[in-house]
Amino acid sequence: MMYQRVTLPNGLRILTSAMTSVRSVSIVFYFGVGARYETAEVSGVSHFIEHMLFKGSAQYPTAQVISETIEGVGGVLDAATDKELTVYSAKVASRHFDLAMNLLADMVRHPRLDPAELEKERHVIIEELGMYRDSPQDWVGVLADEVVWPDLPLGREVAGTRETVSAISLEQMDAYRRQHYTPGNLVISVVGDVTHEQVITDSPMHTAIRHATRTLLTPSPASDCQM
């Protein structure tokens, strides 16, 4: 598959591949951050942030609005956190490319990180951790990592532990997010019925990403954290 790549002055890398035989577009944001980069104190924070970004942003203030924005046009919105990557993706009909790109951009640049939603999601993640222990095929993978990489970040469960997830503060989360969610740590991949020029010059994210310097981000409205 042929592709084009551009690196903006702020370090953001954009890869595109046009597929004229389809009428859809897949957009993926790859941040080079995951469990491997966490201290023991905030183990699970990368995964926690991934959850929180779906709880509302500046332009899309609630989880329902975010979901309906993509699902309302027949699209799919997803995310995942692993040891070294956090990924946000959307797949939509090509005529909704601008909508999907704008949504993903707003989620990663202007998350609300509402304290009430954070507490709700904290309980959700703790329940997830309990489910891993109830699933032998999942739990054996966690145990294997602990044996292979003892006392190292790679040996920890991506979602953290009950203790660390219970203790992560909004300030810790926002500081970690702003440290790692930067242009030089992001690759945007766009594949489908869209041209390279559309992605680079016509997308609603264009102005923001081209003029962003050190960071893609603005401080979260719900946070008093200072950098």
Q: Does the residue 218 lie in any domain?
A: no
Q: Does the residue 113 lie in any domain?
A: yes
Can you give the pLDDT at residue 43? 97
DSSP result, 157-188? -TT--HHHHHH--HHHHHHHHHHHSSGGGEEE
Burial classification of residue 119, based on how many CB atoms lie within 10 Å of its CB (0-12 exposed, 13-18 middle, 19 or more buried): exposed
Q: Does the residue 224 lie in any domain?
A: no
Q: Answer whether residue 207 shows pLDDT above 80.
A: no
Tell me the pLDDT tens digit for each residue of 70-115.
999 999 999 999 999 999 999 999 999 999 999 999 999 999 999 9
Q: Does the residue 216 lie in any domain?
A: no
Q: Does the residue 54 lie in any domain?
A: yes
Mean pLDDT of the chain: 89
Tell me the pLDDT tens digit for each residue of 10-29.
889 999 999 999 999 999 99
> What positions carry a catalytic annotation?
50
Q: Per-residue confidence at 213, pLDDT binned at 50, 70, 90?
A: very low
Q: Does the residue 225 lie in any domain?
A: no
Q: Does the residue 223 lie in any domain?
A: no
As a whole number of angstroms, the distance between CA 12 and CA 6 comes to 8
Q: Which domain holds residue 59?
A: 4-211
Q: Does the residue 226 lie in any domain?
A: no
Number of domains making up the chain: 1
Q: Answer whether residue 208 shows pLDDT above 70.
A: no
Q: Per-residue confidence at 187, pLDDT binned at 50, 70, 90?
A: very high
Can you give the pLDDT at residue 90? 98
Can you give the pLDDT at residue 204? 52
Can you give the pLDDT at residue 133? 79
Give exposure, 99-113, as e/b (b: 16+ Cβ within 10 Å): bbbbbbbbbbbbbbb
At position 47, the amino acid (one-letter code) is: H
Supply the CATH number for residue 173's domain: 3.30.830.10
Query: What tokens were used for 75?
Result: 């699209």
As a whole number of angstroms, the distance between CA 16 and CA 194 comes to 8
Q: Which H or E run includes 99?
A: helix 97-109
Residues 6+ away with beta carbon under 8 Å from 31: 85, 86, 87, 88, 108, 180, 181, 185, 186
Tell me the pLDDT tens digit for each residue of 39-69.
999 999 999 999 999 999 999 999 999 999 9
Q: Answer whether residue 185 shows pLDDT above 50.
A: yes
Residue 201 DSSP code = I
Q: What's phi and psi for 69, nearest 5 deg? A: -60, -45
